[in-house]
């Protein structure tokens, strides 16, 4: 029987411990980061030094792309966090107040009322869901994917909007 080298056993054990710590940290959260995010949402960030903490205004919301269609669901009270605008596609990240289930139901109802045909409905967990739609148009079919993710540590939901125009 071949003896197992001690160095290999120690490296393997250290790797398992590191993996377990990483998993525990992800579940436990980071209270320092959560406090900074909370302060930023209120409009200030603590500079952390001296008698007078520095304050930085919270990040302003971005504007929707100029050609964003009026028949795509946007939740009440939304804020645009990021925009990627390409010739035949747009990808947006929004945040909105409310509960994931209510926003999911509102989006489904709104898109159907605007003439979109639902092609997918998925719930990955209580914290994540997705809807996909298609709509024929003049010269180009369009597709829209809406994703909903609960923003832990915040009362807002992250709403992803992906639009694509498909030339016919």
0.75 cut: is pTM over it?
Answer: no
Contacts of 89 (CB under 8 A, 6+ apart): 162, 163, 164, 165
| Structure confidence at residue 138 (pLDDT) | 77
Bigger pLDDT: 58 or 160? 160
DSSP-derived secondary structure letter, 69: -
The pLDDT tens digits for 21-71 are 333 333 344 444 444 444 444 443 333 344 443 333 345 789 998 889 999
Contacts of 99 (CB under 8 A, 6+ apart): 157
Contacts of 153 (CB under 8 A, 6+ apart): 29, 34, 37, 38
Bigger pLDDT: 4 or 140? 140
The pLDDT tens digits for 94-137 are 999 999 999 999 999 999 999 999 999 999 998 999 999 999 98
Domain range list for the chain: 7-58, 79-167
- Contact in structure between 141 and 103 (CB atoms under 8 Å): no
| Structure confidence at residue 151 (pLDDT) | 80
The answer as to CATH 3.30.70.260 being correct for domain 79-167 is no
Ramachandran angles phi, psi of 89, nearest 5°:
-155, 150
């Amino acid at each position: 029987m071949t003896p197992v080298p001690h160095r290999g056993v120690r490296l393997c054990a250290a790797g398992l411990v590191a993996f377990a710590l990483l998993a525990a940290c992800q579940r436990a959260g980071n209270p320092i980061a959560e406090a900074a995010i909370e302060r930023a949402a209120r409009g200030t960030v603590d500079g952390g030094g001296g008698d007078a903490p520095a304050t930085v205004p919270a990040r302003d919301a971005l504007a929707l792309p100029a050609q964003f269609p009026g028949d795509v669901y946007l939740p009440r009270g939304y804020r645009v966090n990021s925009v990627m605008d390409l010739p035949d596609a747009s990808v947006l990240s929004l945040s909105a107040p409310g509960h994931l289930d209510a926003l999911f139901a509102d989006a489904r109802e709104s898109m159907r009322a605007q003439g979109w045909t639902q092609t997918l409905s998925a719930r990955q967990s209580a914290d994540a869901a997705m809807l996909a739609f298609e709509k024929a148009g003049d010269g180009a079919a369009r597709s829209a994917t809406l994703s909903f993710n609960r923003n832990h540590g915040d009362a807002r939901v992250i709403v992803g909007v992906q639009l694509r125009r498909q030339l016919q």
